[in-house]
A = this chain, B = another copy of it.
Amino acid sequence: MSLSDIFDPNGIAVIGASATPGKLGNDTMSNVEASDTEVYPVNPSSSGTVFGYEFVDSVGETDADLALCCVPSHLQPDVLEECGEAGVGAAVIFAGGFAEMGGEGKELQDEIAAIADEYDITVLGPNTAGYAIPNEDLYGSFVPRIREVESGNVGLVTQSAGVGITMSFQLAREGYGISSMVGLGNRVNTEFADVIPVLDDDPQTDAIIMHVEGTEDVTDLLEACRNAETPIAAFKVGEHDIGDLTRAHTAAPAQDNTIYEDGFDRPGLAAVSSTTELIDAGRVLADTPTPDGPNVGIVTAQAGPGIIVTDYLKGTGATVPELTSETHDRLDDILQGITYAENPVDTGRPMPEFGDAIDAVARDDNVDIVIVYEIYEDSLGYPVDELEELSADVDKPLLFTVAGPDHALEDERRQMEDIGIPTFDTPERGAQAVATLIESISGEE
């Protein structure tokens, strides 16, 4: 059993394909037709074409090695059996109505599992909205417009595909992309522990972010995390008692959350507690070097937001160290006694020397990570040239928190992203991203 037929299929059968807009089997066709791979719409009740592909009566008539199953749950055993007979290696089962329902649903899922086992079929789902690999134009999902999600370097593996979709669209809205998004659903035979190594090996994926409701497979999950070389951030839902909900959703077992909290508390892995923190964690872990320690240098052009950043960081594993006397001397020269030249360094307003002030703090031996806050002003812009030189010289994470008239600052924001300086909106998102970096180097090996 392998995930290669999911990540790199040679032919895709859409079982239950439909020519009627709004139907699951039509939405799926509208996504999958983007692929370079041959697509086979399978539906014995349909004829003619859909998105230019001719309907066929059964999967047995195709050369597909991947099946996207758009049929209701009670038809699924027969469909999977046909897939097995036809030599299909992987199936994505969208339908719900399996283990998450208990009783007959559980029996149905056991039946699926047995068929998958008999024919050696890798099953994603059931009860999933599927997956997306924008870089390959591969969208094994029924979610309308999922093709608008852009290509990037963060890989998502989410127990709820709905959460994966939500985060993928949020990243797109904010101008960022994903390498892959894999929604696991009920995990009949594809688990976190199966997907993590694939993302870890993927050259497009520079960080992995996980949404976890709970899995019997927690030991394997944690081992897969330990073995991964790619940094990982995890959002384990269930701080409070919601076991009845997660069971009814993706058949997640009732578990003590501390299993995850303890397991995630190790270098290479950061635990976060919201979807926004999770996507920001993905971006900062993907784009910046691993920090040497928890010492944060803060440079701000406006005191108020800088104080919010500092206050937030003081409640995390961050340290806000004293700067060296060399840095103080440099800052005194640059800022000429202006405002607050301790850490945080507050220049009081944007100024032409702002880039030099960042440079001084970033080169300080006491500083492992730098976070900058500046409201954009057209006449000065952001110190992109200074930052480019600095980031070529200094192997430390540099983060830039932006504010101001959105359209005006867009170009320079993009330029900073391009040189490996992730940018964030709002003081708290910047501070949380710093806290994530520090968490990713903390804990027991």
Which listed segment binds B: A224-232, A391-399, A404-412? A404-412
**Is B426's CB under 8 angstroms from A145's CB?**
no
Interface presence of A22 (CB below 8 A)? yes
**Contact code string A96-121 (vs B, CB < 8 Å = 1, else 0):** 10000000000000000000000000
Contact A160 B249 (CB under 8 A): no
Given contacts A377-B144, A404-B145, contact A426 B304 (CB under 8 A): no
Least CB separation from A160: chain B residue? B304
Are B426 and A275 in touch, CB under 8 angstroms?
A: yes
- Within the complex, the shortest CB–CB distance from A53 to chain B, in Å, comes to 20
For A307, give its contact among B160, B170, B377, B408 (CB under 8 Å): B160
Q: Oligomeric state, in number of copies?
A: 2
With contacts A148-B405, A166-B426 known, is A161 near B276, CB below 8 A? no
Question: How does the 8 Å CB contact mask read for A342-361 relative to B, with 1 for contact and 0 for none?
Answer: 00101010000000000000
* A1 sits at the interface (CB 8 A): no
Find out whether the CB atom of B242 lies under 8 angstroms from the CB atom of A303: no
A86 interface hit (Cβ, 8 Å): no
Contact of A169 among B27, B145, B213, B404 (CB under 8 A): B404
A65 touches B (CB below 8 Å):
no
Is the beta-carbon distance between A307 and B375 smaller than 8 angstroms? no
B211 and A274 form a contact (CB under 8 A): no
Find the residue from A165, A211, A246, A303 having the highest chain B CB count within 10 A. A303
Q: When the two chains form their complex, are residues A160 and B241 in contact, meaning their CB atoms are under 8 A apart?
A: no
Instruction: Establish whether residues A21 and B245, one from each chain, have CB atoms under 8 Å apart when the complex forms.
Output: no
- Alpha-carbon separation in the docked complex, A408 to B145 (Å): 9
B residues in contact with A340, CB < 8 Å:
245, 248-249
Chain B residues near A27 (CB-CB < 8 A): 377, 379
Whether A52 sits at the interface, judged by CB under 8 Å, is no
Q: Is A143 an interface residue (CB 8 A)?
A: yes
| Of listed A27, A163, A315, residue having the most chain B CB within 10 A | A163
Given contacts A274-B428, A377-B144, A379-B21, contact A403 B339 (CB under 8 A): no
Mark A315-328 against chain B: 1 for CB-CB distance below 8 A, else 0: 10000000000000
* A159 on the B face (CB < 8 A): yes
Which of B158, B238, B348, B406 contacts A311 (CB under 8 A)? Answer: B238
- The 5 sampled A-B contact pairs (Cβ below 8 Å) are A21-B379, A22-B380, A145-B378, A173-B425, A276-B426
List 5 tightest A-B contacts by C-beta distance, closest first: A160-B304, A162-B302, A240-B314, A22-B379, A163-B304
